[in-house]
Structures are given as C-alpha cells and as structure tokens.
Structure 1
Amino acid sequence: MSTERMPNPAMLIPGAMEALVAVNTAIADTGVDGKLLALSHLRASQINGCGPCVAGGAHQAQHHGATAQQVHAVAAWRETPWFSDEERAALALTEAVTRLADRPDAVPDQVWDVAAKHFDHKELAALLLNIAITNAFNRLNAPTRQQAGKW
C-alpha cells in the first residue's frame, strides 16, 4: 500500500480548507437531496480514484438514505434498477463533468437536457458546484495519496 506523499494541501494553506468546506455548506443549504449529492460525490470520486472521498461518499450516501445496493452499484448505475430517473440524470451529468476531456463535446446536449428536465437552475447550480468541489478534493487527495479512514 502506498503512503501519503504530504499532508492534504488544503490543510497547509491557511483558510483553504475552510473555504472548501464553506462551498460544501452552501451546496447543502440549497435543499438539494443529500442522497443525490452524496451519490454524485461517490461517483466522481470513483472515477478519480480518490480513496478518502469514495469512503466518505459511501458513508454520506448511506447516512442520507441510499440503500446498500445503490452504494455498491453506483459505478454501474446504468445497468441496475436501483436509481430513480433524477438520480440517473445527476449521475450522467457527474460523469460528463468529471470526464471533461474524454470527448469533444464535454457535456453533450442529451446529458444536459435530461438533467435540466429534472432540476431547475438553482438545483443544477448546486449539482454542478457539488461535482466541481468533489473534483477539487479528488485532485488534492489522489496525487498526495491521502488515505481513507485516516481522519
């Protein structure tokens, strides 16, 4: 097992972690379903290989009412019956936004239109901020090899 390369960078810059946490708090305060946000966080973190965020996302998803089936199958959400249409729209958007460079049209209209059918602008803003902050945490944790369960 690899070891940490350095402490989490956001912990080394005064005010950085507090700012990241403040964005998370603002997202939570929008009223968007916590389970949906946690499933999105979990999926992005799986894609990015961020151990602490995968562990945290799974815990938060269960805390907000996700079933064990959902938590265990979120990486294969397209091939399971355990996600609502709204959750599927959020997960498709999460994957597209997390994998921006994987296709010429980073977030295809089909993905955006389905998400926009299920979420209003404020909810989409919360979901996009959730995906962005998750990717920020992933990009701090993965290269520095932060370990799940260490906090």
Structure 2
Amino acid sequence: MLSFTEFHSWLSIRPIELLFILFGWLSFSILLVLRYDFHFYSITYFHLFLPLFLTNAIHLYFILIVLLRLWFEQKQRSSLAPAYAYRLIVHKIFTHVPLIVCLIMFNNLLYKAFINKQLLSTNIFHHCMVPLYLFVGWLFLKIFICKKQSNITIVAQS
C-alpha cells in the first residue's frame, strides 16, 4: 500500500490540494447524476463542469501563493541564499505545473466532448485521455527520480 509520505514525495501534492481535486470530482459526479438520471436539464454543461474548472483555478491560486511566499521570504531572510530560493521556486514550478496543466487540458477536452455529444464515440479516448497519459508518463519519471534520490523501494507483486 502506498503511504502518504511516498505519495507526497512522488506527486508533491499537499492534503489540501488533494482534497480540492477530490471535492471537485465529487461535485462533478453528483451534478452529472442529477442531470442524466434525475433529468434536471436546467443544469447546463457549463454548470456541470464548473466544479472542475473552479478546482483547477483554486489549485493554481494555491500554488501561486506558495511561490509568492517563497519569493518574498527569500527577500526578507538574509540567511536563505538567493540561488537556493530560485532553485526551490523553479523546482516547485516544474513539479506542480504539469499536474495542473494536464488536469486543465483533460477537463477542457472532456467539456468539449460533452458539448459536441461525442461521448459515445471511441475517439473520446484518443482525444480526452491524452493529458492523462502524459501525466502518467510524467508521474513515472517523477517516481524514478524520487526513487534514485531517496532510495524508496518499490515492491512489485508477482
């Protein structure tokens, strides 16, 4: 089983960020059920995808706050070397931005598929799932780098 420290070291996601993402998908799922199973057609596609878009915006805003805090903390504390602070900011950008970009692209492509009524088509997996494939590839790269740095052992079941 994956522990939270390994999950955090691989994805660099804090519990509050994970909670935002899961809450957005939960509210999207509830609205989707209300629209199609209970025939509430007053819920438009924009209202349906609004929780996912807001989740991405809140997640991006949270990361922006963290980056600005690092920037201003570096300017106020003379004990923190500027090169280290810049490296830390760049590291945070390259660890968080791919996740957010993949989620934004996936939500946008899924939204367009809903609008164009292409959900029954098999091409939806070719178009909408590409950001998730990219994210999984980035995740494997991140796991490999993290494993080399901290000697985390991965046990594969046979």
TM > 0.5 between the two?
no
**Bigger relative CO (Cα 8 Å, ≥ 6 apart):** 1
Given the two structures, how large is their TM-score scaled by the length of structure 1?
0.29
Provide the TM-score with structure 2 as the length reference. 0.28
Bigger radius of gyration among the two: 2
